[in-house]
Structure 1
């Protein structure tokens, strides 16, 4: 127990006090709290409170990376291999006393490793003494936002897993490849015709042997901001929204209105671009691995007895995420530009 202002505060109570302090509900200077708690207790409680603020901010930014990703824990930094196997095709008819024959599904694998992603933020001795409450609170929120933006960029950014024509897959072709994968179209507008072409292309994808249609059902429709309204109309309006589309007059029932497509707006997609994706909880789409299963940013503080504080007179905080990921299957994705 730690003495503070004629009372005692347990470690949990200290954390609660610091959360209220960061929110401006307690009027005390930073150095006063440090003296009251003791340096070690204050450091631990401050980091916990900063993590709470970062976590709250982490939920404020749309996590569009999650829409197409399956999350798994990873407990090392070695290369992880993920096997992607086809089904067994159709069951075979057997006559009386006829033995069953064995079969081996065609499979392939993708790989990735987890890496740390971090940034360091410093508070000088002068700012600490002058009370850096607002600075630290604001920074904790920025850490939370940066965490989501980093994950979104990893998946959807220009150089991300789904950016441009995407990563190179196990067959040595780009993820989005019209010739080899049949999941990419240029000059394809998002309208009834374009959406039907994309939907049919996914449904017609075959297994790796090229013999059995997979019948993949799209779940996610990711779009650039400029076509978001059109995407919502396409997927949610009960009736067609244009005068004539494929010779269907205005007022005809919208076939996409009951398909259950979830529209996700992705700010980093170029104008007019859209991506159809299957449900990552049913089909292999993207796997995102997080070190020790922590899928949120973590705030750490350098110890008060560090050389950096001694020589440079500052306290260092670090926000980090440790993760990696890969696209598992091109048959569960389609891009139109």
Structure 2
């Protein structure tokens, strides 16, 4: 049974995305998914967290949204930052009096050159947009308003959260948790309440890192944290010493040292951080069977070096996979073997290359991925591979996507596409008369996002033989396959029921004579027949069957058999007489897809004016993504390409079909 399950409830206490070293609180997305697999039906989630890793919070939110029963989230003390995103997954969100909820913009830290910082800024912008959509969908506020609240770092008591749509109920009983999650230094939050900031002040006064977490309402292991007996000199010296001791404890936590070992380091360091760093590194070296030791160390310099080397090698690998010349610093790695690159990454990270034997070196390079560092060779290779995969995907993208409106999907549940009719006309109001209510009709369609994926690997033999040809060919094929998958799914919608499209919610196909969006008599594509199609779009009425939409065709969609004729239809010519003028010159964009029928042709209005198709990607990731892991089925590194994609029909107004001859 998962440790997160207590009395049939899911207990999410402590940091989001990692387990706290000192009292083993905290939770990760993989732990939550494992726990959910052991639960079914309606679920109570108890939440007390000051936040953590943003994308872990997003993964947990999506896992809860996929649960097969109702999810009741009870905020036992605090749900801040990433934890507030988790709370939004609840069908019900309960906040007792005295609890808090906070939303803000995601933040991050980058070590590296300017391009790395810009790349991180772009990722943070994307994350802010995705999270804002989650909050907006939950609360009914506009994304613009939500973004303002996130930028302002908005803290909400229960009544405020209820009024703003972030909670569904407020209970008057006391919060289950006696105190908020104290694993975070709330002083880093701009607008944190004073009582939360005092948690940090109290812990700092003890010379301890910010790791204590409020106990959950069930039996937990109690830790007694003792402080080294270091005599103070004066108030300022004591403050400085406490800051240094706190930093040393944090380093010991990262090094997975026990509390007794950390206390020993603090006592022996006597307030000298550099000395403590050397002792911690020597402690780690003692755990190494090779037994290496150091006398001094600058971890920041090593980290910066490894990041820069990793970036240069990634650029060089990308250029090699893509068959392009490497640019800038990456050109220094052009012509170097894969083994040379892998060994350089190990050395830049401070690891010893255990052997120059090619077989053993390849094994060491491949197994470095177990540390999950951004300078691991599998990670660097994965980044380069993902860039090339996206190049191949974008080069093969179907023109059919130009017909569609793009939507973000928060989960894999069915999405409803609601359509409201046009507003009724404004009516004259006579003096003293009442203003009457107008009514709008409604229609809807549904579809959902599905996952499409395949796995492949780069073997240890390929690394030893310095062979990336098969790897690049596979990546290109995967990128093209992702684009073709999207094209197949969209084309299948149009070709359903013999080219008439799927049945909509009124049990009539997308294209039908009864709708007035299908030619009564099939005909070849000519200026005259295209003109008839344009008139059909212009004459379409809204959902109220009264309001003229006056739609203008923007796209002419044909199969490969009609491509030349389509080019002639939209070609610009210099007429010698009025009758020779081409009315469609420069007014239509030709889209060609060989999946479509040889003779049939279709007109579409702009998706901004009258969308017919809608495509959706999970969490706004509008492309395939590549994930890596150390090989299990193969000796090497395994990759899997994943595409979370769905498409559906939003309505029938805005398109016209002529089956052709």
Match of residue 525 from structure 2? 190
Per-residue CA shift, 1:168-192, capped at 9, x if unaligned? 211111111223x222236321112
Per-residue CA shift, 1:125-151, capped at 9, x if unaligned? 433432331111222222222222211
**CA 1:8 to 1:79, structure 2 compared with 1: closer, same or farther past 3 Å?**
closer
**CA 1:7 to 1:195, structure 2 compared with 1: closer, same or farther past 3 Å?**
closer
Is contact 1:21-1:27 (8 Å) kept?
no
Match of residue 653 from structure 2? 331
Q: Using the alignment, how far apart are the partners of 1:151 and 1:82 within structure 2? A: 19
Is contact 2:400-2:591 (8 Å) kept?
no
* Displacement of 1:35: 3.4
Match of residue 279 from structure 1? 606
Match of residue 336 from structure 2? 28
Residue 632 (structure 2) aligned to one of 293, 303, 307: 307
Q: Secondary structure at the match of 1:49?
A: helix
Per-residue CA shift, 1:60-82, capped at 9, x if unaligned? 22531221011121121111112
Could you tell me which runs of 5 or more consecutive residues in structure 2 were left unpaired when the two chains were aligned: 1-300, 326-333, 347-367, 370-375
Question: 5 Å matches for 1:1-337?
Answer: 9-23=308-322, 26-38=334-346, 39-40=368-369, 41-156=376-491, 159-161=492-494, 163=496, 164-179=499-514, 181-185=515-519, 187-238=522-573, 252-257=580-585, 260-301=587-628, 303-304=629-630, 306-309=631-634, 313=635, 315-337=637-659
Is contact 1:239-1:251 (8 Å) kept?
no
Q: Using the alignment, how far apart are the partners of 1:240 and 1:201 within structure 2? A: 27
- Higher strand residue share: 1
Q: Higher mean Cα deviation, 32-41 or 69-78? A: 32-41
Match of residue 245 from structure 1? none
Q: Using the alignment, how far apart are the partners of 2:448 and 2:397 within structure 1? A: 25
Q: Using the alignment, how far apart are the partners of 1:270 and 1:2 within structure 2? A: 60
Is contact 1:225-1:265 (8 Å) kept?
yes
Q: Using the alignment, how far apart are the partners of 1:43 and 1:2 within structure 2? A: 19
**CA 1:14 to 1:127, structure 2 compared with 1: closer, same or farther past 3 Å?**
closer
Match of residue 244 from structure 1? none
Q: Using the alignment, how far apart are the partners of 2:440 and 2:313 within structure 1? A: 57
* Displacement of 1:291: 0.6
**CA 1:270 to 1:240, structure 2 compared with 1: closer, same or farther past 3 Å?**
farther
TM-score normalised by length of structure 1: 0.86
Q: Using the alignment, how far apart are the partners of 1:151 and 1:307 within structure 2? A: 30
TM-score normalised by length of structure 2: 0.45
For the aligned residue pairs, the C-alpha RMSD in angstroms reads 2.6
Larger radius of gyration: 2
Could you tell me which runs of 5 or more consecutive residues in structure 1 were left unpaired when the two chains were aligned: 242-248
- Higher helix residue share: 2
